[in-house]
Amino acid sequence: DVKVTQSSRYLVKRTGEKVFLECVQDMDHENMFWYRQDPGLGLRLIYFSYDVKMKEKGDIPEGYSVSREKKERFSLILESASTNQTSMYLCASSKSWGTQYFGPGTRLTVL
């Protein structure tokens, strides 16, 4: 079974802090994704990576950056957290085409 794990289920940070969200997949998938989930807005893509050190901006990249130094690990970075970044963050991975496998999510609260 594909397993996608995220470093934290719940996270509380203060405005202005630098925040790291980590994601690890164990199925040698090329593609990894970071989404943000908000009520009524569905899943919105923040960043996408199709290979080590490669990344593409998604629909809402402002205020976020990413890092992929190893194939199995994809990190989302909030350089200076703001209250409007309070949300559920979901990581996913996939082979070259098709089914995306999601982690359980990290609920981030920025105070």
Residue closer to other proteins, measured from CB, 56 or 79:
56
Least separation in angstroms between CB 20 and other proteins? 19
Residue closer to other proteins, measured from CB, 74 or 102:
102
Per DSSP, 84 falls in state: G
Q: DSSP string covering 5-61, please?
A: EES-SEEEE-TT--EEEEEEESS--SEEEEEEEETTTEEEEEEEEEETTEEEE-S--
Chain positions contacting other proteins, by CB under 8 A: 4, 31, 33, 35, 40-45, 48, 50, 58, 90, 92, 94, 96-105
Least separation in angstroms between CB 92 and other proteins? 7
